[in-house]
Amino acid sequence: MSPDLYFAFTLILKMAVTAAFLLAATVTAERAGPLVGGLVATLPISAGPVYIFLALDHDAHFIAQSALASLVTNAVNVLFAVTYALLAQKRSLAVSLAGAFVVWIVSSFAAKTIGWTLSLAIAFNVGVIALSLWVVHPLRHVRVTAVPARWYDLLLRALMVAILVGVVVTLSFTIGPAASGSLAVFPIVLTSIIIILHRRIGGPATAAIMANAVIGLGGFGIAVVALYLTAERLGSAMALSLALAVSIGCNMIIYFVRRRAARVLP
């Protein structure tokens, strides 16, 4: 098999595997209510496979530097979710999603002008998430009606994440670790959920999922910090496994704390 054909074959396989993960997770998010939906949406559904494929092509130092960029973009993703949640209370899907992407793009470009360190990136995440939790607190408890998935919804989601994987894996050798890390956590899962659910269950209900995703993105940020700290020390494989365990563990803790708090409330 020629090198070009082998690359094309492996790229298609990577795109298909990631799409399968996304489909399973987003269907769960739609059916499980805003809390579980928001937490599932912030698991490394698309970023995890992207990082696995990056690790197959690059060394541990590349993965660590990508993780630092992903940590910064994680805070930008929080701003994306909050902007949509606020606009979706009264605005259309087009206006709400466009506004969220304007904030994401402007914030991403602004972030590129800063020389990020781990401490600065952590402080950025803590500040953004703390403020965002206060802003979206009244929006989290809207009842979400379960809706059956349609075949074209599934196809849309699969295509979106497959394209993301293809772009990051193909361009990673050219754009370097920082841009690769930023693209790896592009809010593709959040976007797919917004596009599909806004018209079907309404803006406020979809916004409730995004509002609950804010705390889940905090857990994802902790996982990315773990990846940055351990990639060169433990190797990419062990570091990625640890980051996945941290992400799942954080979201499970959030879920049980939230459920217990809900039982205590009158």
Task: Determine the Cα–Cα distance for residues 38 and 122; give it in Å rounded to an integer.
Answer: 22
Output the CA–CA distances (angstroms, integers) from residue 125 to 31, 71, 81, 206, in the order listed.
29, 8, 14, 23
Spatial contact of 15 and 182, defined as CB atoms under 8 Å apart: no
> CA-based Rg of the chain, rounded to a whole angstrom?
18
φ/ψ of 235, rounded to 5, equals 95, 155
What confidence score (pLDDT) does residue 6 get?
44
pLDDT at residue 105, rounded to an integer: 94
- Which residues of the chain are under the pLDDT cut of 70? 1-42, 141-173, 258, 261-266
Question: Which range marks the domain in which residue 149 is found?
Answer: 3-264
CA atoms within 13 A on the CB side of 252: 6
pLDDT digits (tens, 9 = 90+) for 81-93: 999 999 998 889 8
| pLDDT, position 82 | 95
Burial class of residue 221, CB neighbours in 10 A (0-12, 13-18, 19+):
buried
- Number of domains making up the chain: 1
pLDDT at 230: 93
